């Protein structure tokens, strides 16, 4: 089996290189290998590789900058999935694509299910929703995995930022009214490998393509998440200037950003778990694993 992996240097792409390695021949690319803002570049890549599976974590993820660069966000997050899907459909290839909690407005009181209306509130979320629709139109052989608050030892993320700030400051303010589930890049990568193996075993007729929510178990807010990162690091014996009690909870209104964030990013994973018979561990397990990797580098 030949697998084309995009975004190899991102958080999820980095972990996918590990998890997909036992499954077949991997052609892993990033922006320097293929310009994902150019339709012709994407088509040439897929036609050259002739993959059986395309795994596409590549995305424009600068949420605030997207407000001033909507064309760039649209090209990478909406146009590229459409082109990938069209070329994959010609080959009969499976496309696995990742989307985001930001397709929702965050106003629902409970957990979002896949059938809930998508009402993105910022450019990034709209571009990702457009990408979902474009891929769905382009090929039936797709898996779209919506996730949230990705964290990994490779790349930039909230946990890394908190560790850096905790080493520099003795006070910190963190938003406490946005809820979701920190999801490790490793969990996404390992789950993706499981899906590819299951599709190999079942074939087209039995495999259930479609849109799924895939996040770690449990829920938290950014404030409690930050306290957890600091507390775990201190309990492991590492020195920080910041203590968990020195982190102050603030409302989102006290931390204005260019792009509006959803207050509720909680995604219901019942469909994914029942379809693919996987248990999704609590978010703390994934964050602890990432933190151990980060501590080892210090």
Distance CA 132, CA 98 (A): 9
Distance CA 77, CA 124 (A): 8
Query: Is residue 60 annotated as part of the catalytic site, yes or no?
Result: no
Tell me which residue of 103, 102, 79, 84 sits closest to 43, measured CA to CA. 84
Tell me which residue of 262, 263, 267 sits closest to 212, measured CA to CA. 267
Residue 85 structure tokens: 């899907």
Q: Are strands 179-180 and 220-221 parallel, antiparallel or unpaired?
A: antiparallel
Say which of 124, 212, 225, 255 is annotated catalytic.
Answer: 124
Catalytic residue numbers read 124
């Amino acid at each position: 089996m030949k697998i084309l992996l995009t975004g190899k240097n991102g958080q999820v792409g980095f972990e996918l290189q590990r998890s997909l390695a036992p499954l077949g021949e991997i052609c892993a690319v990033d922006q320097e290998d293929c310009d994902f803002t150019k339709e012709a570049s994407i088509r040439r890549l897929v036609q050259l590789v002739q993959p059986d599976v395309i795994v596409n974590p590549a995305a424009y993820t600068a949420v605030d900058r997207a407000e001033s660069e909507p064309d760039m966000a649209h090209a990478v997050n909406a146009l590229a999935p459409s082109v990938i899907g069209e070329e994959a459909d010609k080959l009969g290839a499976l496309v696995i694509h990742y989307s985001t909690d930001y397709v929702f407005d965050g106003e629902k009181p409970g957990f979002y299910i896949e059938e809930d209306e998508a009402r993105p509130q910022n450019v990034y979320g709209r571009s990702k929703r457009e990408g979902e629709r474009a891929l769905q139109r382009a090929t039936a052989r797709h898996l779209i995995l919506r996730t949230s608050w990705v964290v990994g030892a490779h790349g930039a993320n909230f946990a890394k930022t908190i560790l850096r700030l905790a080493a520099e400051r003795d006070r910190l303010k963190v938003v406490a009214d946005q809820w979701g589930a920190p999801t490790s890049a490793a969990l996404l990568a390992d789950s993706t490998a499981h899906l590819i193996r299951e599709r190999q075993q079942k074939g087209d007729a039995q495999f259930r393509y479609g849109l799924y929510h895939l996040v770690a178990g449990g829920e938290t807010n950014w404030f409690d998440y930050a306290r957890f990162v600091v507390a775990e690091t201190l309990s492991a014996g590492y020195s920080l200037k910041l203590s968990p009690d020195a982190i102050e909870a603030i409302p989102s209104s006290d931390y204005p950003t260019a792009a509006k964030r959803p207050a509720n990013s909680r995604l219901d994973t019942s469909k994914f778990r029942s379809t693919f018979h996987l248990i999704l561990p609590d978010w703390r397990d994934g964050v602890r694993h990432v933190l151990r990797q980060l501590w080892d580098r210090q």
